[in-house]
Every structure is written in structure tokens, then in C-alpha cells.
A and B are shown apart, each in its own frame.
Chain A
């Protein structure tokens, strides 16, 4: 052993001679390695009993081993392995073999032979199984070595006939993971014996074990086959029959794996024809498999049921005839056919009557059934989903709902049929299932139109106390088609009820009505007089404009009116006035309307309603033009430049308000330009020529400007998503300018030379880091401050601080305006606090010193990683401020780029004499370290952890005021 190690060390020495100087430390490390394995060796030798040895091994396995010394360790272990009589120690060694060969950077090909050799002498089945497991690890570490694989497969074949289930299971696993994918070459008989065995068809060998006496081995065989499939081998169709037989196995894990296997085959050979036993008919394989898996939905084990229900959803090639059978349910009562509640509801609906259950025995059975046609046990696909949806375990129901969704999405006719069932699920006892079925219905809503009675059931859920359910339902209603005007009325009524019961749902309800209106203009039209309570002869009182319910009605009507030009004729005068008001205050809900005899209120409106998507393009064009215009400004001191910038910023801000799609981009540009403007103004001041003592006052404004630019630059960097490296470089450039400005100001005001030197040095570091970070972007920054700075860098770093400042000042003033290029998509992170609304006059009372919980509900848009970055800030009237980190679970994701924060913050304070307001707002936390980690982490992380990162927060929501009143504790 030692000789071997020595040899290895020498080998490395002889290699090292040519290696460059830098790798010397690595060599030193390597020298210390053998000592570790030697330590183990000593430990194992010292071990007096097998328990001791086991103890050593256990402690040893907890520490990682360097890749270089793995081989040595393995040899020591194996040496001990042969000496060891206790099987538990051998088992541990075997497991360590696998563990060690996983060490990153170690290639286990050198220990394959030794590991395989251990198998031959092993008597204990458990150790054998563990050895095979380790071999599996070794084999999967060496995917590129077919020779090793072949050997391992051979080993697996040899041990397949072992009497212990564990060994057989492991062998099958090995075959599944490493079995050769290429089909065996039929006539290749010149190879030696063993490799021929290895070349035998893996599938047929594995499938032999489908009939093994141990269920665990059967499961392993199925799993191995699935593994082969996953690795890309085409499973033969003959396996299908065998897999189908295993569907009725006694053991659930076998059945579960068999369901998967049958599914795989149905996807591989969907169009093959299989015979139906006990008849001479034939059907497509996928239909047959579908029937068989459907049958498993009423299996005894719920795990299998879940598996089967899930699987059904992905069998999209099944024939519609079979698909529709899954929803079949024949009811009978005393041998007479009974109509299902669904059928009854449909009939009642067709006959125009709308009530049920009032009469005794209205579900009385009708026609007499022929006893022969009644299928009691569902054969094949019959009623699979009916069972699945009524399963006792909600996991099964959920899986069935999911599967229904997938199937319905691909088949409109099926979607129509499963509607009743899905609507039923809205009343499930478990909230998860209800939520899931609402989501599902939304996903298939393009295919369906809800009947009145169905809508009734759907709308009943609006009173659910769970906010998630209600909001999911609003979302659903946004996408739902309804058939009659009564439906619209019903929906409106229920939504208003909802609004009344849960006022916090306001915005969600309005949004829902917006879509409902724009989807069904013709259905809303006949309702308008009633909804607006207008009368042909009499004037009706003007409704209250602040009533959320009235606004809801108006939102519905106005949105319907966009595509129904006759509707505005029905409006009364005050409706037009309210339109103007709402159009301005709730522009996201109220669309622009062409109103007869009225001037367009806004110039842009005509653009908006004239051409839907065209307006976005024109706005984009406008944005680009504005930017181009600004880019003509060459120098910061050019005449008229500030005015132009001012104008452009104003334009952009307005554009952002009008065009929500471009709000992010416009905002971004405006902020950027404002930074430029501020810099420009700061530099333009005549102060730079005046002597120091006179300019103290101006200095203050300039300092403030520099600070503001700095702050804005952080906002630019972290508040907007979709930025490319180029924009980030531009932002950093602005920041650098601001820092330069600060430096100059500092130089002018302060006299301490030491502080100046240090800040100069810091600035130079910043410049260097900028250069490192944005090396690729530098060509785009031509003629900029940085470029000039980098040209002067050698001079700067050598001269004195005062000199440096002078150079900086001239460079800063001479540098041109940096062009901003817009990325494809740019969004501003925004947050809106929905709750608390800040409207309540009732203070929250609590005993001082104790806590009170305040519910916070906010929507976040375009926030990346909100779990880590969003914080809640609470400001007390005395200036105290708390920052609270919400729990990750408080964030939900209702849509892409949208998050919802529903959390509670705990407030506490000492006693006040009267109620007072606290302010709550959301902050976006950032740390610049994440962006500057690109290239120089190695150098920085250990040296200056604090300096490299700039951490801070950006407030990105309005604050909301909440009245609170801490009372002194009563004694």
C-alpha cells in the first residue's frame, strides 16, 4: 500500500517539474493528502472489534475527502474489506465506495475492477446489494466508458439469479441505468462469451422479472424498464401485455409502476392494434391502455388512483368515443333508469323552469331498465372521471381535475361535456380542490359557454370567505362566455353582492366587470336602461359617484359600449359626466369611447381607440424620436439643452401615463434624462468660476443634486427589470459622474487633505471596477466621461489629489451626453398597497407594550425575487421606523411578473395620548454586490466584504396611513 502511494507521489513530482510556477501551492496541498488515508488506515488497524471499525468508518464518512486521495482511501478500505468478518462493517465499506466515487473531480475508473472483484467472494446478500448499489454509482459516474458499462452489466446478469430480493432489485436497477441502448447485433457471434451475454436484449431479460415472486423485484423490473425508456431506448411492444397483467397485481407499488409502464407504451405505439380478449374485435392500443388505466382510477390504493388519474390527463391521442365514456354515469333506482342531477338541471333549463327539488320525488325514476345492459362495475373507461372526482381522497380528486383540464384543452367537445363535473367541483369540501377546479375552468374557458344554471353554481362561490377562491373566480369570470342577458344580470348581481360583503375585493370586481362588459356588448345592451335606471320620460336621481357598486355598473356598461356604438344613446347626462370623471380617475378600467356630439377630451384618445396595437407602435416611435432629439445635444453646456431635456422629460412622463405598455420604458428614460439634466445644471452653474467662499449657498444645491443623481441611479439599476448589460453600464456611468461631482465639491469645500486623498483613491477604485465590469461595453461609451477618464487614468493615478480634482472637473464639464438605447422590454417594479386602504377613521386600539397585527395586502408587479427583496416599512409619528421582512410564504404568484403580498405586520409602541397615524410602505431592498460580482469576486470577497457592496432600499409604493392608538396598560 505504502509503496503504491509513494510511487504515486513520485509520479506527481516528476510531472511537476515542467509545470509553471503558479501551481506550486497546489503541489504542496497534494503532498499532505496521503496522510489522510493513512490516518484511516491507522484507525482501522487499531480497531479492536468490528464495532470500533464501524465507528471509525462512520466518523470518517462525515468528512469530505479530496479528489486526489480518494483512490488511496478506497484501497485501504478494500484491504480492510477482505479482512473483515462482520458483515455490517463490510456493508459500510461498500456504501463508502459509492460515496467516495461521487467525489467531484475523481474518476472512479481505476477502482472499477477492485470493486467488481469484491462481489465474487461476498456471501452476505445485504452487502452484495450494497456493493451493486455502489457499482451503480460508479457506473453512472463514467458514462463515457462502454467497457466499464459492459463489465457492470455482465455483473448484473450474473447476480440476477440471486435468491435475495435486494440483490435482484439492485441488479435490475443497474440494468435500467446502464443497459445498452443500441439494439443487440443479431449475428455478432464472434465476440467472447461474457460480452455476448451483455449484448443480450436487456429488455427481454428485465421483462423476465415482471413475474418474479417478490413484489419489490417486480417493481424494480418495471422501474428499470421505465428507466430505459427515459434514457431513450424504444421499449418493445410485446412488453405491453405483460405490463397490463401487472395492473392487477396484489401490491400497490407494482400496480403504480405498471400504470406508468402502460402509459409509456401507449405513447410509443398509440396506433397499434390490439385484440380485445373474449371477442374478436380489435382496438387501438392507446384506447385499450386508456381503458385499462381508467379502470385503475377505482383501484383500492389511493396512491395508484392518483397515479392513474394523473396519467389519464396526458393521453391526448385517445379516441373521443373513449374519452366521453369517462364521464358516463348511469344512475338507477330499483332497476329503473334515473336521470342524473345534471340531466335534470339541463332539462329544467331547456323547459324554461328554474327551480328544482321543490316537488317530492321529482327525481323519481322513469323508464324501466333492461338488467342486462346495466354495467355495475365500470368496464374500461366507463365513468373513470366520475369516480375520480368523487374519490374520498382529495389528492385523487385534484389529480382527476387536473387530468380533465388537460384533456379538455385538447378537445372542445370533451370540454363541453366535462363542464358540469367541473362546476360541481366548485363545491368540494377541500379548498385546494375548489381552487384547482376554478383554475382549470379558466384554462378551458375558450371552449365553453356557461349555461345559466351552471353560472348560478359558479357564482355561488363568490361568497366564499377565502380570498384566493374569490379572486380566482373573478379571474375566471374575466374569461368566461355566457349565453344570455340573464346571465349577465345574474353575474352583475352576484358581483355586487360580493362587493358589498367583501369591500376589499373592489378592484378585482371592477376588473372582472370590465372584461365581462367588453366580452358581451350585445348582451349588455338590452340591460342598459335597467342598469343605469334611466327612464324614457322622467329624470331619475343622479346616483352617488363614490358608490363602488355604481362604479362597477358603469365599468360594465362603458366597456360594453366600446364595441356597441348605439349604447351611448341610452346614457343620461350625468352618465356622460361620470364617464369623463371615471375615464380620468380609473383610466385602466374605463376605455375611451367615441361619444356622439362630444369633443374628444384628450388628443391622445383618438389615437388610442383608433388603432389598438398601432397606437403602441406610434407611441414607441414617439419615444424613440424623443430620445433621438435629445441625443443631438452634444455637450452638456450647449445652449437650449436644459429646455429640451425638460420638455422631453415631461413628454415621456405623460406618455408613460397614457400608454401602460410603455410606462416602464418611458419612466426609465425620463429618470435617466432627469439625472442628466441635474448633472448638467450642476455643472452649468457659474459657480465653478467663482472663488470658494462665495459659493457656499450654491454648493448646497449642487451637493443635493449630486446626491439625488446617485439615488436615482440606484433606482434605475434596481427598480427596472429587463435591463441589458449596456444599460447597466450607462447607469453606472451616470453614477460615476455623480461621484466625480461629489468629489469635486468635497475638494472645494473641505480642507482636510487626508480625507481628500482617501476619497480620491476610492474614486479611482470605482473607475477601475467600472472598467473591469463593463469591458465589453466600453466601445459603446465613446466620447463619454469614462472614456476620457480612462485615457487620463495613468496621469490621474500618479498626480496629487488637487491636481486630480482639477482634471476631473474639466473632463466632467467637457464630456458629452451619453446616448441611451432602450432594451426590448423594460418594466418598472411597482407595488400597490390594497389594504390597509388608509381611509379608516377608526383607530386600531391596543395596549401599549403589546403588539397589534396589521393586515397588509399588496400587489407587486415586475419584481424579481420578491421573497428576498421586498420589505415593509413602518414609520411611527415620532420618527421611529421599522423594516419588516415578510415570510416567503406570504408571497403568492397569481400571474407572470405579478406577485401578491398578503402578510401581517406587528406594530407596537409606547402609549400615546391620542390616536395618530403611522405610515406603511413597501421597500425594495437591493445590494449592488450581486451585480458587481461578475469578474472580481476572488479579489474582493475576502478582503473588503463591506466595501464591495452597497446596500439600500428604494421605496416603491405610496405610503398608506393607518390610525393607531396604543393605550396605557391598565393596572
Chain B
């Protein structure tokens, strides 16, 4: 019955969004991420926790929960799980995640409850209570969850504070990673030890994509902004509050600095401002350039970027404005867009994907006349640009990670089944390791072959070393003699003498005796003497003794001759050997026999 690791995705199995993966390893149950699905408004938006237990709290069934980063599809269900379903155990996340996560949750709650008017949703207090259960993680810090379970976080890139987690129980281990950002040099790039985990669980959203150099796209972006500014136009960049916005801010800020530009850059207040604050605090989690400049100043202490005020939109002259939300469907970004749309000198840059039905989607598809509320139409004269900056790992990044960590098995989550299929094939072909892609609720089982550590006594080791060559060769196994003692959950390899002593047992001598009948006319002592001299002449290099008590000892074999009372010619040769001397015995026996039958 080999030990196994079971991985069951409750969400994100062959699917995107609602990341929630259960791992049971070495008798421990761990939940990786606890996300929500953006596409649903009903029960399907949260993972199905009834899989774990039908009724009652989850605390008894889970040893810990680990959150990889602050995106809602990775942490959105956390207050629901901990407060409404019930979980009191530890929740692990990195410091930046812990800081930013509640902001997003609160925002999410506001939209759902205040705007959409849903009831039976978690409250602000629940978010707070949930956050109290969080244990923050530092990078590369090994945290002992209990005596056997330990976790260690690695830098993952993607967004601020995103982490890869190495989970270890005994010699079995699992690495969980999201969206490793190896190629896009946005904020970070990931690195992990060659930790050779049993399973590497990785996200595979962009499994079938190999992206172009980030630098090209950045250059295009900057060039467009620059040209518009030089013409005296205004640039609107609708963004989502976190991640992308900061990335673009840094990009523009540096460019302004480099090119000595004077036009003002604004970002809309509120969420972005708060998030910027956290970026400022967690400067060490960002990329080399940002870290390096920190000696002089904090890069997020923007020099050119100021907070936006509603009235600024009417100011003359060029400017760049970052405004939320990203799809131009409501709020500040839409207001500004309406103001600026009429001037062909201006420009709007959509830095991300837009959902169908939003204004963003319409203008990207080239619609030049928009119908607004109240039957008004809006002529779109400004230039519309699309810029894709995605911080997800592409196929190459995942392969790179596999090469770095050298896992024994691979498990793909958070991606579409077809794409996963492709990547799975590639992984199996390239690294010849097994690759799994379980669907939601499906369990992938990996049997492990754990190595069992055994303590060995130093004396025994030294003795064995003295027997062999000068140095143990790690490549070649060697056999050794010893006694394995299993006592109180620990294994010990000691020499047999010591084992006897420890266990308080007496040593039993095991002797085997063999009687050989033969005809010999000589007297007993003569026969013995003949045997002695013969053995002496044949077995050179062995200790052979003729003992006064009428026996011959060859090493540990005792040879004795006795004749029966009836027939003095019929001699009985008694050979006796101990268990250890078995190997010599047959040689001795053959020689003696040969001598007698001559």
C-alpha cells in the first residue's frame, strides 16, 4: 500500500476562474486558493465546499488554507468559506496579499450587496474576521504549520505579492504556482529551488501561447502616448484598479523621466490611490529596476503622476489620465471618454480585454457612433488603440518552471481543457513525466515512493567505510550488514551487537552439525591428524588449529572424529559450524571428503 497524494480541484479544474484545489498529502489536507467565478451570480460562483463535508465546519477537515495572490478568482470565496461555512484554521498568504486582499473583497461585496442588492452575502465584519485568521508569509521562509507539514513561499511575479508555495510533508512535496511570470518583465520574475516535488500544480491559462517580447509592446504603447502628447492631444487609459494600472504608471513615469516630458499624468482617485500606497510599502516585492532606484527614491512615489480631479478633464493642453473602470462601461473613465471623444487629437488606449456589450468592446471593433442613454449619440473621433499587457505565464514560462523545479509529476489547473491537452502532450514529450489535468471534483492520485530516513550508528558506518574503498561513491549502492530497529516511530540501523545490547537480548549461537560416515582404518587421533595436516597444506592463509581436546578448528568450524564402538573402521566425522562460518564449511567439507575417499 504505497502512500499517495490526492489532488482534487473544486474549481479551476479544466476551467478558468474559481480557483480552489484540495490536496491531501501525507495525511494532511490543504486547500490551495479559495476563489470565486466572475461569470456566475448564483451558487456556482463559489467552490462547492460540500464536497469536503456535508454539514458542519471545515476546520476539522482542513489543516490549512493557502492563498497565492489577491485576484478575486483566487481569494474571492475566502470570507464565505471561513465565516459562513466555517473554518477557524490558519490561512496563509504573503504580506502584500494580506494587505490588498481585503480592499478587493470589500469592493466586491459593495458591488454585489449595495449595487445588485443581494442578500445572504458576507459582510464587512466577516471580511475583517476572516482576515484575522490570516498568517502572513515571508518569501523563502519555511513555516511549520504543524509538526509535519511545512510550507515555503517563493516569488512568483504576476502581481504584487503573488507566491509559489512549496508544501512538504516528510519527504513528499507539492509545489503550487499561479501564473508564473518568467518572460514578461513587468514587476518580477520567478525563481524556485530545484526542489524536485512530487507534483507541480500550475496554472495554464495561456498554455497555447508564446508571447512576443514585452519590450516591443511597451515601446509601441509609449510611442503612441508620446506622439499624442506632442500633438497636444489627451490620452485616456481606462484601467482596472490593481496590477496593470501600477505597471503602466511605472512605465509612463520612467518614460517621462527619461524623455524629460512635462505634460501631466493623472490617475483617478480611490482604489488606485490606495493600491499605489501598498505598492509603495511593498517595494521589495517588485522588479530589479524598481528595487535599484529605491536607493534614490521610491518608484511608486510618483514624481509626474498626480491624483485626478473631475475638473481637470476640461483643462487645456496635453495630459494622460488613468481612470477606472477598464472597460469604459461606467464611472469616471466613461465620463472622461465622453468629454474627449469628439477631438481627433485625443486617444484612448485600452490595455486589456473588454467584455461584449461594453463601450470598450464597441469602440475596439471600430464603431464610430455610440448610442448613449437618452437617445443621444456620441461621435467617436478620437483614436482608439489596443494594447495587450498580460501578466500570465505563457507556455514557455511553464516549461521553464518545470525545468527549474524538476517535478516528478505535473498537474495543470486553471485553463481550458483543449489548451491543457496541448501543453500536457508537450510536457510528457519533453520531460517524460506524467501530467494530469483533473476536472472539477475529479481526483488525481499520484503514488509516491517516499524515501524512509533511517538513522545509522556512526560506529557501524565507520566500520563499513573501513571495509570498502576510500570514499563512498554516491553513484553506486553498497550492501552492508546491520540490524534495523524500529522503535517508537523511528528507524535505526545499528550493528547486531549493539542491537542485542539495546534490546537486552542474549546472543544465540547457531551451530550446525554434520555427520560424515567414512571408513578409515587409522585410529581416531591419527585420522584427525591426517585431516589436520591435509587441511593445513590445502587451505593456506586460514587459521587451522589442532586443539588438545581432540578437535581441529578451521576458522570457526570444529572437526571431530569419533569411531563407533562396533566398527572401529567406521568413523564418524563431526563437523560443526556456526551461522557465520557457513561459507567456509563447504570448502572444508569437500576437502575432507576428498581426502577420505582417496
Inter-chain contact B366/A360, CB cutoff 8 Å: yes
Inter-chain contact A376/B208, CB cutoff 8 Å: no
Interface flags for B419-441 (1: CB within 8 Å of A; 0: not) read 10011011000100000000000
Query: With A161-B470, A161-B471, A377-B399 given, is the CB distance from A424 to B216 under 8 Å?
Result: yes
Interface flags for A326-357 (1: CB within 8 Å of B; 0: not) read 00011111110010111000000000000011
Chain A, residue nearest B421 (CB): A371
Interface flags for A285-304 (1: CB within 8 Å of B; 0: not) read 00000000000001010000
From 206 to 222 in chain A, residues with beta carbon under 8 angstroms from any chain B beta carbon are: 211, 213
Inter-chain contact B386/A331, CB cutoff 8 Å: no
From 463 to 477 in chain B, residues with beta carbon under 8 angstroms from any chain A beta carbon are: 470-475
Query: With A341-B217, A376-B430, A394-B288 given, is the CB distance from A358 to B188 under 8 Å?
Result: no
Inter-chain contact A427/B194, CB cutoff 8 Å: no
Interface flags for B347-369 (1: CB within 8 Å of A; 0: not) read 00000000000000000111000
* Chain B residues within 8 Å of A390, by CB: 183, 185, 213-215
Inter-chain contact B214/A332, CB cutoff 8 Å: no
Q: How far is the CA of A457 from the CA of B259 in the complex (A)?
A: 14
Instruction: Select one of A300, A374, A427 contacting B219, CB under 8 A.
Output: A427
A interface residues, how many (CB within 8 angstroms)? 49
Inter-chain contact B194/A250, CB cutoff 8 Å: yes
Instruction: Select one of A335, A357, A457 contacting B208, CB under 8 A.
Output: A335
| Contact of B396 with A by CB under 8 A | yes
The stretch of B45-53, B115-123, B220-228, B451-459 that contacts the partner chain: B220-228
* Chain B residues within 8 Å of A359, by CB: 366
* Chain A residues within 8 Å of B289, by CB: 394, 429-430
| Contact of A276 with B by CB under 8 A | no
Inter-chain contact A334/B400, CB cutoff 8 Å: no
Residue among A213, A358, A374, A427 facing the most chain B CB atoms (10 A cut-off): A427
Query: With A357-B385, A394-B288, A464-B259 given, is the CB distance from A334 to B419 under 8 Å?
Result: yes
Inter-chain contact A463/B260, CB cutoff 8 Å: yes
Interface flags for A440-464 (1: CB within 8 Å of B; 0: not) read 0000000000000000010010011
| Contact of A392 with B by CB under 8 A | yes
| Contact of B212 with A by CB under 8 A | yes
- The distance from the CB of B180 to the nearest CB of chain A, in whole angstroms, is 12
Query: With A357-B224, A374-B426 given, is the CB distance from A463 to B383 under 8 Å?
Result: no
Inter-chain contact A332/B209, CB cutoff 8 Å: yes
* Chain A residues within 8 Å of B384, by CB: 360
Query: With A341-B217, A360-B366, A430-B289 given, is the CB distance from A464 to B471 under 8 Å?
Result: no
Q: How far is the CA of A329 from the CA of B260 in the complex (A)?
A: 34
Query: With A377-B400, A390-B213 given, is the CB distance from A424 to B219 under 8 Å?
Result: yes
| Contact of B211 with A by CB under 8 A | yes
Query: With A163-B471, A298-B400, A463-B259 given, is the CB distance from A340 to B215 under 8 Å?
Result: no
Query: With A357-B385, A358-B385 given, is the CB distance from A393 to B288 under 8 Å?
Result: yes
Q: How far is the CA of A391 from the CA of B400 in the complex (A)?
A: 13
* Chain A residues within 8 Å of B404, by CB: 300
| Contact of A386 with B by CB under 8 A | yes
Inter-chain contact B254/A429, CB cutoff 8 Å: yes
Inter-chain contact B223/A460, CB cutoff 8 Å: yes
Interface flags for B366-404 (1: CB within 8 Å of A; 0: not) read 100000000000000001111100000001100110011
- The distance from the CB of A923 to the nearest CB of chain B, in whole angstroms, is 33
Q: How far is the CA of A298 from the CA of B189 in the complex (A)?
A: 12
* Chain A residues within 8 Å of B298, by CB: none
Inter-chain contact B425/A331, CB cutoff 8 Å: no
- The distance from the CB of B104 to the nearest CB of chain A, in whole angstroms, is 27
- The distance from the CB of A372 to the nearest CB of chain B, in whole angstroms, is 9
Chain B, residue nearest A497 (CB): B230
* Chain B residues within 8 Å of A358, by CB: 383, 385
Inter-chain contact B209/A392, CB cutoff 8 Å: no
Instruction: Select one of B189, B260, B365 contacting A501, CB under 8 A.
Output: B260
- The distance from the CB of B259 to the nearest CB of chain A, in whole angstroms, is 5
Interface flags for B157-179 (1: CB within 8 Å of A; 0: not) read 00000000000000000000000
Chain A, residue nearest B191 (CB): A300
Q: How far is the CA of A460 from the CA of B192 in the complex (A)?
A: 38
Inter-chain contact A333/B209, CB cutoff 8 Å: yes
Inter-chain contact B364/A360, CB cutoff 8 Å: yes
- The distance from the CB of A652 to the nearest CB of chain B, in whole angstroms, is 46
Interface flags for A18-46 (1: CB within 8 Å of B; 0: not) read 00000000000000000000000000000
Interface flags for B269-294 (1: CB within 8 Å of A; 0: not) read 00000000000000000011100100
| Contact of A465 with B by CB under 8 A | yes
- The distance from the CB of B6 to the nearest CB of chain A, in whole angstroms, is 28
Query: With A331-B211, A357-B386, A376-B396 given, is the CB distance from A371 to B471 under 8 Å?
Result: no
Inter-chain contact B260/A465, CB cutoff 8 Å: yes
Inter-chain contact A360/B365, CB cutoff 8 Å: yes
* Chain A residues within 8 Å of B209, by CB: 332-334
From 425 to 439 in chain A, residues with beta carbon under 8 angstroms from any chain B beta carbon are: 425, 427-430
Q: How far is the CA of A357 from the CA of B400 in the complex (A)?
A: 30
Q: How far is the CA of A232 from the CA of B214 in the complex (A)?
A: 45
* Chain B residues within 8 Å of A460, by CB: 223, 226
- The distance from the CB of A137 to the nearest CB of chain B, in whole angstroms, is 27
Q: How far is the CA of A466 from the CA of B258 in the complex (A)?
A: 7
Inter-chain contact A376/B395, CB cutoff 8 Å: yes
Q: How far is the CA of A430 from the CA of B419 in the complex (A)?
A: 36
Residue among B185, B213, B260, B400 facing the most chain A CB atoms (10 A cut-off): B213
* Chain B residues within 8 Å of A357, by CB: 220, 224, 385-387
Q: How far is the CA of A377 from the CA of B430 in the complex (A)?
A: 8
Chain A, residue nearest B287 (CB): A392
From 546 to 599 in chain A, residues with beta carbon under 8 angstroms from any chain B beta carbon are: none
| Contact of B210 with A by CB under 8 A | yes
Q: How far is the CA of A357 from the CA of B387 in the complex (A)?
A: 8
Q: How far is the CA of A472 from the CA of B106 in the complex (A)?
A: 51
* Chain B residues within 8 Å of A338, by CB: 210, 212
Inter-chain contact B288/A331, CB cutoff 8 Å: no
- The distance from the CB of A463 to the nearest CB of chain B, in whole angstroms, is 5
- The distance from the CB of B363 to the nearest CB of chain A, in whole angstroms, is 9
Residue among A378, A386, A390 facing the most chain B CB atoms (10 A cut-off): A390
Chain B, residue nearest A168 (CB): B471
Query: With A371-B422, A377-B430 given, is the CB distance from A427 to B215 under 8 Å?
Result: yes
Q: How far is the CA of A334 from the CA of B191 in the complex (A)?
A: 26
Inter-chain contact A333/B208, CB cutoff 8 Å: yes
Q: How far is the CA of A376 from the CA of B404 in the complex (A)?
A: 15
- The distance from the CB of A862 to the nearest CB of chain B, in whole angstroms, is 33
Chain A, residue nearest B182 (CB): A392
| Contact of B257 with A by CB under 8 A | yes
- The distance from the CB of B406 to the nearest CB of chain A, in whole angstroms, is 9
Q: How far is the CA of A866 from the CA of B384 in the complex (A)?
A: 55
| Contact of B150 with A by CB under 8 A | no
| Contact of B218 with A by CB under 8 A | yes
Q: How far is the CA of A705 from the CA of B387 in the complex (A)?
A: 76
Inter-chain contact A392/B185, CB cutoff 8 Å: yes
* Chain B residues within 8 Å of A424, by CB: 213, 215-216, 219
From 74 to 93 in chain B, residues with beta carbon under 8 angstroms from any chain A beta carbon are: none
Interface flags for B288-317 (1: CB within 8 Å of A; 0: not) read 110010000000000000000000000000
| A-B pairs with lowest CB-CB distance, top 9 | A392-B189, A341-B216, A465-B260, A161-B470, A377-B399, A300-B404, A360-B364, A463-B259, A335-B208
User: Could you list 16 examples of A-B contacts with CB < 8 Å?
Assistant: A300-B403, A338-B210, A340-B212, A341-B212, A357-B385, A371-B422, A371-B426, A376-B210, A378-B396, A392-B287, A392-B288, A425-B215, A427-B215, A430-B288, A457-B219, A465-B260
Interface of B toward A, CB cutoff 8 Å:
183, 185, 188-189, 191-192, 194, 208-220, 222-224, 226, 254, 257-260, 287-289, 292, 364-366, 383-387, 395-396, 399-400, 403-404, 419, 422-423, 425-426, 430, 470-475
Interface of A toward B, CB cutoff 8 Å:
161, 163, 211, 213, 250, 298, 300, 329-335, 338, 340-342, 356-361, 371, 374, 376-378, 386, 389-394, 424-425, 427-430, 457, 460, 463-466, 501
Given A329-B213, A340-B216, A390-B214, 4 additional A-B pairs, CB 8 A: A332-B210, A391-B185, A392-B188, A460-B223
